[in-house]
Amino acid sequence: MPVRIITGAQWGDEGKGKITDFYAEKADVIGRFQGGNNAGHTLVVRDLDGVPHKTVLHLVPSGILWPDKQCVIGAGVVVDPKELLQELVQLELDGIEVSPERLRVAANAHVILPYHKALDEAREDALGESKIGTTRRGIGPCYEDRSARRGITMQELVDPDVLKEKLEAMVPEKNHMLSFFLHKHLKLDSVLEEYVELGEKLRPYVGGARACVQQALANRENVLLEGAQGALLDISHGSYPFVTSSHTVSGAACTSLGFGPKHVTSVIGVAKAYSTRVGAGPFPTELDNELGEHLRTVGAEFGATTGRPRRCVG
């Protein structure tokens, strides 16, 4: 360190969460730098009595299980406010403190809205047998709006007047797009009411993620950053178009949290003895037989986010 980056070296599901948790002990700041709640990091940690407890995280960095660590969600992450709140509530129920002092969400991280999910679902259904195999969580459509410069950020989510103005422009446009797929329309008033409330609840957590990392670097403290998915699902370098919608490679950590590559002292690519992937796309030497089923069963290869069985290769 000061900056250590953990990425997946395959198609994701390599066990990055447990590796992040391991290195988090010696880190001061732990952050998530890309993806959304289409990823799931599963951690099994024993308590003081030796009883194992399973925690599945989708947006909150894996380092949150360490009580003295600062956690951040970077601008490269797309945030589903409902999912984030549910995750925070579940962590609190599990006895893990997640105060705004411990978790900061980048103000310019983009927000997943109901029309993103609706479009994701409608497009997948329309593709039929050619579908990509997305999680239907609205990840791709949200990144589309981000690149098209018409997305809604976390800092806009927590400002009701700005949110209203943005949604008044976006919901009619998205409903027009949904009409093409014969999908039901969204009601502006309902979306606005729900997301104003979500923004109010998340307001204390928004802002300061980049500052946390920069301050840590200035103090020569250790920063640990984790990605989601794997290198072979990178939007530019993966098996396009059967990829995710963000950059999963280590360089994305720099752009997400606003620091130069000179601060990166190590990159850890996590791999396992066999490969798995969820969703469609090319998968050389896939074991579509009893051996593949054995790997899936013994390795508990089912998606932490969707529960879908993972495809396996030797």
Q: What's 2's DSSP letter?
A: -
Q: Is 58 a catalytic residue?
A: no
Given 21, 28, 41, 234, which residue is catalytic? 41
- Give the closest residue to 150 by CA, choosing from 164, 170, 168: 170
Specify whether the CB–CB gap between 231 and 11 falls below 8 A.
Answer: no
First to last CA, the chain: 34
Q: Is 120 a catalytic residue?
A: no
C-alpha span between 183 and 169 (Å, rounded): 19
Q: Using DSSP bridges, classify how beta strands 41-46 and 52-57 pair: parallel, antiparallel or unpaired.
A: antiparallel
Give yes or no for a cis peptide into 241 (omega within 30° of 0): yes
Q: What is the DSSP string of 31-86?
A: EE-SB-TT--EEEEEE-TTS-EEEEEESSS-GGGGSTT-EEEE-TTBEE-HHHHHH
Q: Which residues are catalytic?
A: 13, 41
